[in-house]
Chain A
């Protein structure tokens, strides 16, 4: 009975179930390893960042792979989400039950990042290609610089804000500095756990996979494939571009909260251009437009420097070389053709699809 059901299932549903299955299996294996005491502490410390990076990679893939626009400022959305979510967590965790405060932090982080996505998206999505990329990069740097120079505190009179230093907040004696410029937020009570991370990954996947396979998702892919043709059949370009961009920003914000609540201090410097690039590397290495690939690439590439720890000084060097070699081997047209020819020898009906590229 069950087998016939599985056979009649739609191809996309089956593919989605495999993706969910991978995440759940990953969770179970890790829980099993932890239970048997097989986890090293350095690897256990990587679990929450892995979850955050998976969400970031999946959400960026929506912009880069499905919408087809290169974004180099994903860390900016992560940053606004992290700061707003952490502020909510700091202020509510004492009064509300902790699960509610945590949920509220994630929601606020996501919503604020989404609002920024809207704010940035409206003007920016008029540009395209490399120009859009550079503007998203500029946006990420602006957020980083702004948060680095941002001071926020509160006392009996309410909130105080300054861009100069903590002294010019003019706080009353009982006042408390919340964001201390480049020092960021300190004394955060850690709240992210691996289980929370996995739940968030599953939510992200449900939303994004459903979006991709919905009517809206097909509209978004049609814009990627040919904007003018999509426009000519009556697709509202701005609306669908914004939709993809905002959903992508929301989940980047959520991932930012998840990431920041794993550490006791939160500084803006962490969310710089290199972080945006790192996420883009996950997306490209995992396969542009391939959600499952993003998950696997994010997990492996976050663990890789950890695995190479024994090589110490050379690990980032090896990482760089791996990156270059993998790119050349997976993307060079000559090598792709050679690979296909070799594969065809082994498989009779081996029709390997070429990797879908976004110019």
Chain B
């Protein structure tokens, strides 16, 4: 930090951080909901994002469909994919030890990556942004905010609000809460556990499709491994905020994005990931269940 501190530049880094964080938050929602309800770490979630991005890439970039239609199409594909994966690979292992499901999820992750590589080759594709909005200039052009940034932040906030409303005010949402509280008791109360878990995967995967389109609009290289690192970061964000908690995923995602972008700008590009992970360790040591996580007392 040898140069003079530039407030506008800082603001620009901060806003970009929030935008990146919004994408993490959207992905983290998928992780956190699935964890809360099915008690499993879905390691294949990052690769669903990648598949979704390819769908948008072809629908919008190659066939020239309307951007909104392309994203909707990608949401449909991802939803089907998520539900199918859950049905075929995870449901038979519902009562198995959690490690078994974890390894299966890793297998699914490899499978999706390899399929993408076989179908579309590992050469990076350059993604055309789905956002048609022009950049906004503030403070006499000292601060430029790109259209992608605005759309990303706004859609994340909208989705968060909609999801919170859905969980708290619809019967399907209540079923989700019930299953995450106690699966057995929920079943006794007449909640269809399998349908609820399928619904959770559907919502998580649809959000992953949106996140993929937004992520690739801001960072326009697309290849079969595109989803892996954002997937891990979003997983970290979910744990950061308290895994299983929807507001936690939001807070964790945004914070993670800000920390990553600021440390990239002011400390070191190479070490920014290390700093992000170090922050996670520090937070977990102080609050072992994440920022907004519930404390669980273990009884004998």
Residues of A within 8 A of B (CB): 64, 70, 123-124, 126-127, 130-131, 133-135, 137-139, 141-142, 145-146, 148-149, 163-164, 226-229, 273, 277, 280-281, 284-285, 288, 313-314, 316-317, 319-321, 323-324, 327-328, 330-335, 357-359
B124 within 8 Å of A (CB atoms): no
Q: Which stretch in B4-12, B101-109, B188-196, B215-223 binds the other chain?
A: B101-109
What is the CA–CA distance of A229 and B300 in the complex, to the nearest angstrom?
7
Grouping DSSP codes into helix (H, G, I), strand (E, B) and loop, the A interface class, with mixed when no group exceeds half, is helix
Point out the residue from B95, B102, B281 that lies within 8 Å of A333, measured CB to CB: B95
A-B interface pairs (CB < 8 A), number: 135
Point out the residue from B35, B111, B236 that lies within 8 Å of A320, measured CB to CB: B111
Question: Which A residue's beta carbon lies closest to that of B99?
Answer: A284
A163-B268, A324-B108, A333-B95 known; A131+B288 contact, CB < 8 A: yes
Give the interface centre of B41, B117, B118, B280 by most chain A CB atoms within 10 Å: B280
Question: Which B residue's beta carbon lies closest to that of A127?
Answer: B288
**Is A142's CB under 8 angstroms from B41's CB?**
no
Question: Which B residue's beta carbon lies closest to that of A281?
Answer: B103
**Is A317's CB under 8 angstroms from B103's CB?**
no
**Is B271's CB under 8 angstroms from A146's CB?**
yes
Query: Nearest Cβ in chain B — how far from A121, in angstroms?
Result: 13
Cross-chain pairs A/B with CB under 8 angstroms, 22 sampled: A70-B102, A130-B243, A134-B235, A134-B236, A137-B232, A138-B236, A138-B277, A141-B274, A142-B278, A149-B274, A227-B298, A281-B106, A284-B100, A285-B103, A317-B114, A320-B114, A324-B104, A324-B108, A327-B103, A331-B97, A357-B97, A357-B100
B289 within 8 Å of A (CB atoms): yes
**Is B99's CB under 8 angstroms from A64's CB?**
yes
B115 within 8 Å of A (CB atoms): yes
Task: Map CB proximity to A onto B259-284 as digits: 1 under 8 Å, 0 otherwise.
Answer: 00000000010110110011011001
Question: Which B residue's beta carbon lies closest to that of A332?
Answer: B92
What is the CA–CA distance of A334 and B95 in the complex, to the nearest angstrom?
9
Point out the residue from B89, B104, B268, B277 that lies within 8 Å of A141, measured CB to CB: B277
B185 within 8 Å of A (CB atoms): no
Query: Nearest Cβ in chain B — how far from A147, in angstroms?
Result: 10
Chain B residues lying within 8 Å of A327, measured Cβ to Cβ, are 93, 100, 103-104, 107
Query: Nearest Cβ in chain B — how far from A161, in angstroms?
Result: 14
**Is A332's CB under 8 angstroms from B103's CB?**
no
Query: Nearest Cβ in chain A — how far from B165, in angstroms?
Result: 28
**Is A145's CB under 8 angstroms from B97's CB?**
no
Give the interface centre of B96, B98, B285, B288 by most chain A CB atoms within 10 Å: B96
Query: Nearest Cβ in chain A — how far from B158, in angstroms?
Result: 29
What is the CA–CA distance of A314 and B97 in the complex, to the nearest angstrom?
30
Query: Nearest Cβ in chain B — how far from A223, in angstroms?
Result: 13
Give the interface centre of A164, A317, A328, A358 by most chain B CB atoms within 10 Å: A328
Chain B residues lying within 8 Å of A285, measured Cβ to Cβ, are 103
Question: Which B residue's beta carbon lies closest to that of A334?
Answer: B92
Further contacts, 10 of them, CB under 8 A, given A164-B268, A284-B99 = A64-B99, A127-B284, A130-B239, A134-B235, A135-B281, A142-B278, A229-B300, A317-B111, A328-B89, A331-B96
What is the CA–CA distance of A321 and B111 in the complex, to the nearest angstrom?
7
What is the CA–CA distance of A139 and B273 in the complex, to the nearest angstrom?
11
Query: Nearest Cβ in chain B — how far from A129, in angstroms?
Result: 9
Query: Nearest Cβ in chain B — how far from A57, in angstroms?
Result: 13
**Is B100's CB under 8 angstroms from A324's CB?**
no
Point out the residue from B41, B271, B284 that lies within 8 Å of A135, measured CB to CB: B284
Question: Which B residue's beta carbon lies closest to that of A274?
Answer: B228
What is the CA–CA distance of A334 and B298 in the complex, to the nearest angstrom?
29
**Is B271's CB under 8 angstroms from A357's CB?**
no
